[in-house]
Structure 1
Amino acid sequence: MKKIFGFVLFFLTVCMLPISLYGQQADDYLDLGLAGEAYHILQKQLETAKQHPESPLQIAVGHLELGAYYHTLGLYTEALAQYNFALEQLVHHPDDMLYAELNNNIGKVYLSLINFELAEQYFEETKTACEQLGDKKGLATSLGLLGASHEKQSEYEEALEDQRRSLALFKELRDDLGTALTNENIGSIYEDLEQFDLAYDYFNRAYGHLKGTGTEAEANVLNNLGDVFRKRGEYPSALEKTTLALELAIQINDLHQMESAHKDLSKTYALMGNFEQAHAHLLLAEQYNSDMLTSQNSDQLNVLQTIYETNKKEAEIELLKEQNKVSEAHQNLLWVALFSIAVIFVIMYYYMGRKRKAKLKIQEYKQRMLKAELDKKAIEEKNLQHEVQLKAASLSRYSLHLSQKNKILLDMSNTLRNIASRKHMDTSSKIKELVKEIDFNLKQEQEWDEFMSFFKEIHPEFVKKLSSLSQNSLSPAELRLGMLLRLNLSSKEIASILRVTPDSVRVARHRLRKKLPIDQKEELVNFMIDL
């Protein structure tokens, strides 16, 4: 059995059945090996139909036949393009039977491309449409194609169901060819399931319809019968059927069936132990396969070359037509263009002169504006620098003032304490009040807040940068220490401002340094200044 051969035969036959409604000239030429002539005939028919745009159905048929021709040659892209062109003709002039046929043909292309999902989508659409229209032949064809798709995917239960429904419809229509091919497809499914007795029964029924027709279908079913006999171990019967298939294939000059028959004979002789005959037939099968591929490639190449040359000539004709139209338009517009150019030239000369003068004035004005803007920015920058310098000086003076004031207040506080310690003096109570007031003032934060305000005006990003660089969060005291270090104050000056001892400042500096990513050799003050 040849599952693939049977499917291809069924596929090609079903392809041709609907087209026979409109003509089979291309198929006849393909049978004779005249691929180039077939293309010219179909192309000429299509061009003739296009000359009558009032008959879109004829144009659709022309595209359909050309698409089927491309499909037979394995030119799937071109086939789909022709089928889609045909569908476009049916948009405003629907024809249900022709639409169903086109839909099935598109599905067949996708089936050839092993795109089962898209193929079955088109077959299902066609099946539904045929059921609604009561088109039994179209429905039988769609079911057969669905069954073939399921068989290719090894979905044998679905395949058998579709093929049996198709067979019942073909029998009801008394369609011998459809009945024969469907029987053969059912036999192919049973052969895949290794139910060889059932496979033989259906193949034999198919042969009963095809016997004596002298067609590729008859040769193919003979090959399938020989295949079943071989798998059942009935080698003489297998040789008999396969030999009959080979003789018929030679008679009708079908390379595909000759290659298939020789391959089956090789397998049968090998199983019988006659390896010399098996080898001889295998060599012949390979030779026919090579000849078939060469012939197919040659046909495809010839057709593609013919298509290219035809398209090239059509493009050249269209180009010449367009060139003639352009030349005529140029002649009609030449004098008008010359006059228009002259007028435009005069207007442009006058306009450009005025524009040039205006442009010069604008440039001069822009230069003056630019110079004024630059001068303004220079003055603003100078003022800003001066303001920054003043604030920096003020901040330094303010920090020094804080330091001096705190020192003075501290000295006064110590002195007053000493006086207050003298118990025999009458001023003791008054001095104690003054000490309390001075101590209270020493604790006030108002001056420090003013210092912070001055500092942030001059170094607005310092605190934020210092906090982001710290590995741990910094306390307010550490932030203050950092700000005073940024002003490049000594430890003694910082101790005076913060009202702590210099040793405490050194300890605080050491703790702050630990929290910052500072190199051991780098000074903490330099690090703060660089922020």
Structure 2
Amino acid sequence: MKNVFVFVFLFSLLIPMGGSGQQANVPITNRKTTDTYNALQNQLEIAKKNPENLAKIAQAYLQLGEYYHTLGLYTEAIAQYNSALEQLGSNLEDSLYITLNNNIGKVYLSLNNFELAEKYFEETKQASEQLKDDKGLAVSLGLLGASHEKQSEYDEALQDQTQSLELFQKLDDYNGVAITNENMGSIYEDLGQFDRAYQFFNKAYRYFEGKNTTEEINVLNNLGDSFRKRGDYQIGLAYTTMALDLAKGLNDLHELESAHKDLSKNYALMGNFEKAHEHLLLAEEYNSEMLRSQNYDQLNVLQTIYETNKKEAEIQLLKEQNKVSVANQNLLWVALFAIAVIFIILFYYMGRKRKATLKIQEYKHRMLKAELDKKAIEEQNLQREVQLKAASLSRYSLHLSQKNKILLDMSNTLRNMVSRKHMNTSDKIKELVNEIDFNLKQEQEWDEFMTFFKEIHPEFIKKLSMLSEDSLSPAELRLGMLLRLNLSSKEIASILRVTPDSVRVARYRLRKKLPIDQKEELVNFMIEL
């Protein structure tokens, strides 16, 4: 801890070295942050004055640890939580133990140390079950679900969150119900089940709506994500814009960054790359501002800790000045060396983090480009299909024209026969019958039909044949193709030159050869192939 104090001291010395740059103009102290820390520290000191009230001391350590956690000072947070657990001793049946254990797990979850996080959550879960503490059990299950989700273990995550949701509903804890619904929506969003995700996000939003909280902003962003990912860009844009407006009102830098990032994705998918780039730059600015703010808050607290301990050290120094003078000199050199090492490590870490962020952005840009290329290919395929259908329609029209010509010729022949009273009609009628039979026997039209059908539905005949338990006859294949075109029995009977009753019998026989549910329509089955 002393190394941290000296680090703050050295950092405060380095600030003026920026000359006229921005860093020199940024205040190193934040009154609100300092006041909060001082209040919590005073609360702890007051609690320590009554050493018999261990629960109150543990509670003070707990609150101080939670404050460190919000600032991202994870090591200090763990230290405070462990100090609280030491106050409880062997009294692990206290509900405070459940809260502390969950909080320690949260810190490890923030550090992506899933193994340690789940160890604490499981211990808390068992303790909650023994104490019959449904609230603690619900929280532990929710945190376990969050850990599984981060590791893409979605089945376990859904199981934990479902149990957590049932407990919160039993307790009438609407805030817990809303948060758990949002967590489940996030899981279904990761699974690509955007309709289910929307249902859970919407349930959460009904609770948070109008409360102007960070939770409401987060749910709105999630709703926008779910619509954007399923292609409803305008609706997604509306939700994300609402989230942005609320974030501006609360001046929440994290949510402002998230909203601008989501808007950038949305505009990119809509093809408005200028807007997408504009929001991406704003997201970067808020991210940088958020990091600066977090760093300043951390430094403020560390500096306050340093100053507090410095005063205590000065008092001790006055009491034992002769004994500690040499030790202080040695400590100063060690501390300066440690500060230099920490500063170098911090600088290296921030550089790597920025490079990683740039790589992620580059990857996302590539993904967006690939998606646009895919859309272009799909559009080309649709245009090709339209051209094939147009060609088929033209040829079919020609076929009808030929048929009509034949019928017209036969009609003229019959008129001539009627007008000639002494003409031997028997031979002429036989000639017409032979001509009609000849045309009916022509298979060229079916060959052309098969060619057109295979161009438009190349895999249909193969799929239909593979699904049939018995081999299908050419007539049954023809019937299947005509059903695929969504023709009625009457239309099929006209084309096949049979009666509608014969078509119904043929449909029944074909249905028996296919693995089709009794309630499903044969036409729908063919269309879905």
Match of 2:286 among 275, 285, 288: 288
Aligned match for 2:97, one of 67, 89, 99: 99
The AA in structure 1 aligned to 2:155 is E
2:201 to 203, 214, 226: 203
Structure 1 unaligned residues grouped into runs of 5+: 1-31, 327-531
Letter in 2 for 1:243: T
Correspondence for 1:262 = 260
Aligned to 1:121: 119
Aligned equivalent of 2:61, options 60, 63, 69: 63
Q: Name the structure 2 match of 1:213.
A: 211
Q: Distance in 2 between matches of 1:195 and 1:297?
A: 38
* Aligned counterpart, 1:133: 131
Partner of 2:176: 178
Query: Which residue does the alignment assign to 2:230?
Result: 232
| Alignment counterpart, residue 111 of structure 1, candidates 104, 109, 112 | 109
Q: Distance between the aligned counterparts of 1:324 and 1:90, measured in 2?
A: 39
1:47-105 CA distance string (max 9 Å, x none): 11111112111111111111111111111111111111111111166551001111111
Helix, strand or coil at the partner of 1:212: coil
CA distance in 1, matches of 2:92, 2:133: 16
1:228–1:238 CA contact under 8 A, matched in 2: yes
Counterpart residue number, 1:166: 164
Deviation, 1:213, is 1.1
- The one-letter code sitting in structure 2 at the alignment partner of 1:217 is E
Q: C-alpha separation between the residues in 2 aligned to 1:137 and 1:223?
A: 27
Describe the superposition over 1:365-386 as per-residue Cα deviations: whole angstroms up to 9, x where unpaired: xxxxxxxxxxxxxxxxxxxxxx
Q: Which amino acid is 1:136 matched to?
A: D
Mapping for residues 348-363 of structure 1, pairs under 5 Å? none
What is aligned with 1:189?
Answer: 187
Higher relative contact order structure (alpha carbons within 8 Å, sequence separation ≥ 6)? 2
CA distance in 2, matches of 1:139, 1:306: 37
Selected match of 2:80 from 82, 85, 93:
82
* Partner deviation per Cα, 1:200-246 (whole Å, 9 max, x = no partner): 11111111111111100000000000011111111110111001001
Q: How many residues align?
A: 295
Indicate the residue corresponding to 2:354 in structure 1: none
2:300 is aligned with 1:312: no
Could you tell me which residue of structure 2 aligns to residue 9 of structure 1? none
Q: Is the 8 A contact 1:57 1:93 kept in 2?
A: no
Hey, what does 2:455 align to over in structure 1? none
The answer on whether the counterparts of 1:57 and 1:90 sit within 8 Å (CA) in structure 2 is yes
Describe the shift of the 1:321–1:59 C-alpha distance in structure 2 as closer, same or farther (beyond 3 A): farther
Distance 1:91 1:97 in 2: 13
- Give the match's secondary structure for 1:34: helix
* Contact kept in structure 1, 2:93 and 2:131, CA below 8 Å: no
| Structure 2 stretches lacking a partner, 5+ long | 1-29, 325-529
Residue 506 of structure 2 is matched in structure 1 by: none
DSSP 3-state at the match of 1:214: coil
Give the aligned partner of residue 147 of structure 1.
Answer: 145
**Aligned partner (choices 51, 54, 57) of residue 52 of structure 2:** 54
Q: Which amino acid counterpart does residue 133 of structure 2 have in structure 1?
A: D
1: CA distance between counterparts of 2:317 and 2:136? Answer: 44
Q: Look up the equivalent residue of 2:151 and give its one-letter code.
A: Q
**CA apart distance, 1:152:** 0.7
Task: Return the alpha-carbon distance in structure 2 between the equivalents of residues 299 and 211 of structure 1.
Answer: 30
Query: 1:75 and 1:312 mapped to 2: Cα distance?
Result: 20
Letter in 2 for 1:128: Q
Who is 2:155 aligned against? 157
Amino acid at match of 1:74: G
- Which position in structure 2 is the counterpart of 1:223? 221
Equivalent-residue separation in structure 2 for 1:223 and 1:68 (angstroms): 26
Q: What is the aligned-residue identity percentage?
A: 70
Look up the equivalent residue of 2:203 and give its one-letter code: R
Partner of 2:152, secondary structure, is coil
TM-aligned CA deviation for residue 34 of structure 1: 2.1
Q: CA deviation at 1:287?
A: 0.9
**Structure 1 stretches (4+) deviating beyond 3 angstroms?**
92-95, 318-326
Partner of 1:289: helix, strand, or coil? helix
Equivalent residue number for residue 243 of structure 2: 245
Take 1:244 and 1:151, find their aligned partners in 2: how far apart are those partners?
27
CA distance in 1, matches of 2:267, 2:116: 42
Contact 2:244 2:256 in 1 (8 A): yes
AA in 1 matched with 2:228: R
Q: For the Cα contact (< 8 Å) 1:139–1:166, is it kept in 2?
A: yes
Q: Deviations over 1:21-46 (max 9, x none)?
A: xxxxxxxxxxx982221111100110
- Helix, strand or coil: the match of 1:200? helix
Aligned-CA RMSD value? 1.8
- Listed one character per residue, the Cα deviations across residues 228-273 of structure 1 (whole Å, up to 9, x for unaligned) are 1111111110111001001111111111111111111111111111
Q: Aligned AA for 2:222?
A: N
Code of the aligned partner of 1:311: N
What code does the residue aligned with 1:60 have? A
Aligned 8 A contact 2:93 2:127 in 1: no
Residues in 2 aligned to 1:213 and 1:264: alpha-carbon distance in whole angstroms: 22
Aligned equivalents of 1:224, 1:251: Cα separation in 2: 19
Alpha-carbon offset, residue 325 of structure 1: 12
- After TM superposition, list the pairs within 5 Å mapping 1:369-380 onto structure 2: none
Cα distance, 1:317 vs structure 2: 2.3
Residues 95 and 319 of structure 1, relative CA distance in 2, 3 Å threshold: farther
Taking a change above 3 Å as real, the CA distance of residues 93 and 127 of structure 1, as seen in their structure-2 partners, is closer
Give a deviation string over 1:274-302, Cα, whole Å, max 9, x none.
11111111111111111111101111111
Partner of residue 343, structure 1 = none
Q: Which residue of 2 is the match for residue 408 of structure 1?
A: none
Q: How does 1:35-50 map onto structure 2 within 5 Å? A: 35-50=33-48
Partner amino acid, structure 1, of 2:305: I
CA distance in 2, matches of 1:71, 1:209: 27
